[in-house]
Amino acid sequence: MRIDHEDVGGGVVRASLTGSLDIAGAAEADPALAAIAAGAERVALDMSGVEFLASVGVRSLMKAARALSAKGGRLVVFGADDAARKVLRSTGVDQVIAVVEDEAAALAALG
Amino acid sequence: MAGVARLELSPRAEDVAVEIPRMTAWLDEALAAAGASRAVAEATRLCLHEAVANVVEHGFSRGGPPGEGPMLRVALQLGPRGAVVAVRDNGAPFDPTAHPPRTELARLDDDALGGFGIHLMREQSRRLAYARDGGWNSLTIFIGDAA
């Protein structure tokens, strides 16, 4: 699992995940996402490099979203493929975390 | 339906970084060899990962059975339109089919953050069957139009 992030200005951090968000990948993504959430208020998360999303990855996203929400911030997810979107929809996570098509929509949603 | 592919894995948490990618590579090869449809491949991948994740997370938190190391065995029968996934482990008794369905979807203030895996397995499969047999958990997942 590879995790990158950059400050894109306006108080927004753009982060990206590459690899499988299974129990092996989430073990690496969790602390990295926690660190990103600790240092930012608004995060646009690019999931276009996530080739597989399991429930443990859903929990990683929920933890990051909760940490941001607790300080008035927000997580927006974009670029998820069809299979990942199905998992986000099925678990109801797309009702509590904004899931949008692309980076432009994510940045617009974060204002 | 083609023959049965088998894999033995270490379910120890410290082995996950090696064992899960090994399982994924094994599964991808089996899916390709069977000519599984995209729908069958995605459902099989998700169900297998969720079943194995449950074993890794819950099966051996109090150690393995006395005199034996933790063991996890996967058997996979695949066809173009369906799959049967059997996951056996010698960890603590755990029956996913006995867990009540999630009555609510995710909430940001939901402390538990659990139950998603079983929910996904139920949704992606036609049927889940569980048995406890001689110190082993045996979970069988029927996906799609399987024998």
pLDDT of residue B2: 57
Kindly identify which residue of chain B lies nearest to residue A89, measuring between CA atoms: B105
Q: Does the distance separating the beta carbons of B123 and A52 come in below 8 Å?
A: no
Q: Distance (Å, rounded) from C-alpha B43 to C-alpha B121?
A: 8
pLDDT of residue A89: 93
The CA distances from residue B84 to A36, A81, B128, B146, in Å, are 40, 25, 10, 7
The CA distances from residue B118 to A8, B133, B141, in Å, are 38, 21, 11
pLDDT of residue B104: 63
Mutate to test the interface with A, among B20, B40, B47, B122 (most CBs of A within 10 A): B20
The CA distances from residue A46 to A16, A71, A96, B2, B26, in Å, are 4, 22, 17, 38, 28
B53 → closest Cβ in A23, A91, A95: A23
pLDDT of residue B103: 63
Q: Assess contact for A44 and A106: CB atoms under 8 A.
A: yes
Q: Does the distance separating the beta carbons of B17 and A22 come in below 8 Å?
A: no
Q: Assess contact for A77 and A45: CB atoms under 8 A.
A: yes
Q: Distance (Å, rounded) from C-alpha A8 to C-alpha A28?
A: 23
pLDDT of residue B80: 81
Give the up-direction half-sphere exposure of residue B144: CA atoms within 13 A in the CB hemisphere: 22
Residues in chain B predicted with pLDDT less than 50, given as ranges, are none
ipTM of the complex: 0.92
Collapse the DSSP code of A6 into the 3-class scheme (helix H, G, I; strand E, B; otherwise coil) and give the result. Answer: strand
Q: Distance (Å, rounded) from C-alpha A43 to C-alpha A8?
A: 10
pLDDT of residue B112: 61
Q: Does the distance separating the beta carbons of B105 and A92 come in below 8 Å?
A: yes
Q: Does the distance separating the beta carbons of B42 and A83 come in below 8 Å?
A: yes
Nearest to A3 by CA among A17, A13, A14: A17
pLDDT of residue B101: 74
pLDDT of residue B110: 63
Residues in chain A predicted with pLDDT less than 50, given as ranges, are none
Q: Does the distance separating the beta carbons of A63 and B116 come in below 8 Å?
A: no
Inter-chain Cβ pairs, chain A and chain B, closer than 8 A: 75
Q: Does the distance separating the beta carbons of A23 and B108 come in below 8 Å?
A: no
The CA distances from residue A21 to A30, A48, A70, B27, in Å, are 10, 12, 24, 16
Which string of b and e fits B101-136 if b means at least 16 CB within 10 Å?
Answer: ebeebbebebeebebbbbbbbbebbeebeeeeeeee
- B23-44 pLDDT tens trace: 999 999 999 999 999 999 999 9
